[in-house]
Amino acid sequence: MYSFSTAKDLLKLCKTHDTGIADIAIRYEMEYSQRHRAETIARMRKIKNVMKDAINEGINNPRKSAFRMSGGSAPKLIKALRKKKMAMSPLALRAMAYATATGETNAAMGRIAAFPTAGGAGVVPGVMLACTEVWKMSERKLLNGLFTASAIGKIIAEGATLSAAAGGCQAEVGAAIAMATAGVTEMRGGTPKQCLNAASLGLKSYLGIVCDPLGGLVAVPCIKRNTLGAATALAASDASLAGIESFIPFDEVVMAMKNIAKIMSPKLRETALGGLAVTPTGLRIRKKIGLPPIK
């Protein structure tokens, strides 16, 4: 009854039930998992708490990852909040710091919420927890934002993919940006249409991004793609609320993502055989890890 696979279905459900995306996502989850509303929301709260802990860990207990490729950037972004003449707003810098902290916790083998995946796990918590804090929003609003983000993730998963091995980084960080921007747009009072429009703007800007992690480890370029992805998600939300409309509707952006995935070389899909992974620095890391040379 509340199932949807496309943005078109989702908008129709919102209209029929005169409600927002978050509420439809909650009703869908209740129907799918056969759980009551309170339990469904409590489960999302648990995920939110994992997100919060991962951010705190990355900022307050920074650790270097294997081969020292990451660790310690999140506290630098927090320190940058005190600097004058920064181009980004304090909110955007905080979102970038939180996204980075999550990625650094992940790379150091800490606990994160894969939302939607481990590699793209920084954008959603970065954006949503920073906005909740800075704008003093309620937990209810935050959880609604996370449900809205989940609905967008479901559409991408069913219409294209959330797997880097199938679709490159557009399927991880790109999807995370679409999810975060829709979620935060709902938190800011955006209509379902504005949320989906923000998702289109966000995802379009990361279409075609390849997966090329150094040595196959989820650290470089993954973490910094999350850092900058958080800023993109906020920009897409602002643009949507300012009335900028994506010429391509969300379902078609997802369709394009699927097409790009199909023609993307396997070398650029999580195999560490192309892109940044085969730069001199990437090859140096590969050798250090003990991976065989690329023929």
Phi, psi of 113 (to 5 degrees): -100, 120
- Which range of residues in 88-96, 133-141, 190-198, 211-219 is near ligand SF4 by CB under 6 A? 211-219
Phi, psi of 269 (to 5 degrees): -125, 75
Q: How far is the CB of 217 from ligand SF4 (least distance, A)?
A: 8
Q: How far is the CB of 172 from ligand SF4 (least distance, A)?
A: 4
Query: What CA–CA distance (Å, rounded) separates 285 from 166?
Result: 24
- Which range of residues in 14-22, 106-114, 137-145, 205-213 is near ligand SF4 by CB under 6 A? 205-213
Site for ligand SF4 in 51-110 (CB under 6 A): none
Q: How far is the CB of 164 from ligand SF4 (least distance, A)?
A: 3
Q: How far is the CB of 125 from ligand SF4 (least distance, A)?
A: 15
Q: Considering just the CA atoms, what is the radius of gyration of the chain in Å? A: 18
Residue with smaller CB distance to ligand SF4, 190 or 229 = 229
Cβ within 8 Å of residue 219, ≥6 positions away: 65, 66, 69, 70, 103, 107, 213
- Which range of residues in 1-9, 65-73, 77-85, 219-227 is near ligand SF4 by CB under 6 A? 219-227
Candidate list 116, 120, 153, 215; residue touching ligand SF4; CB under 6 A = 120
Candidates 209, 191, 213; CA nearest to 276 is 213
Candidates 215, 222, 199; CA nearest to 282 is 215
Say whether residue 25 binds ligand SF4 (CB under 6 A). Answer: no
- Which range of residues in 55-63, 104-112, 123-131, 164-172 is near ligand SF4 by CB under 6 A? 164-172
What is the torsional sign of CA 242, 245, 250, 256?
negative
Say whether residue 211 binds ligand SF4 (CB under 6 A). Answer: yes
Candidate list 222, 235, 241, 264; residue touching ligand SF4; CB under 6 A = 222
Query: What CA–CA distance (Å, rounded) separates 250 from 8?
Result: 9
Torsion (CA) 245, 250, 251, 256 in degrees, nearest 10: 100
Say whether residue 182 binds ligand SF4 (CB under 6 A). Answer: no
Candidate list 159, 213, 229, 274; residue touching ligand SF4; CB under 6 A = 213
Q: How many residues of this chain interact with ligand SF4, rule: CB under 6 A? A: 14
Are residues 120 and 175 in contact, defined by beta-carbon separation less than 8 angstroms? yes
Q: DSSP string of 205-251?
A: TTTT--B--GGG-SSTTHHHHHHHHHHHHHHHHHHHHTT---SS-HH
Residue with smaller CB distance to ligand SF4, 62 or 116 = 116
Candidate list 23, 104, 251, 270; residue touching ligand SF4; CB under 6 A = 270
> Which residues, in sequence order, are bridge partners of residue 211?
269
Site for ligand SF4 in 273-292 (CB under 6 A): none
- Find the residue with minimal CB distance to ligand SF4: 119
Task: Name the residues that contact ligand SF4, by CB under 6 A.
Answer: 119-120, 164, 169, 172-173, 211-213, 218, 221-222, 225, 270
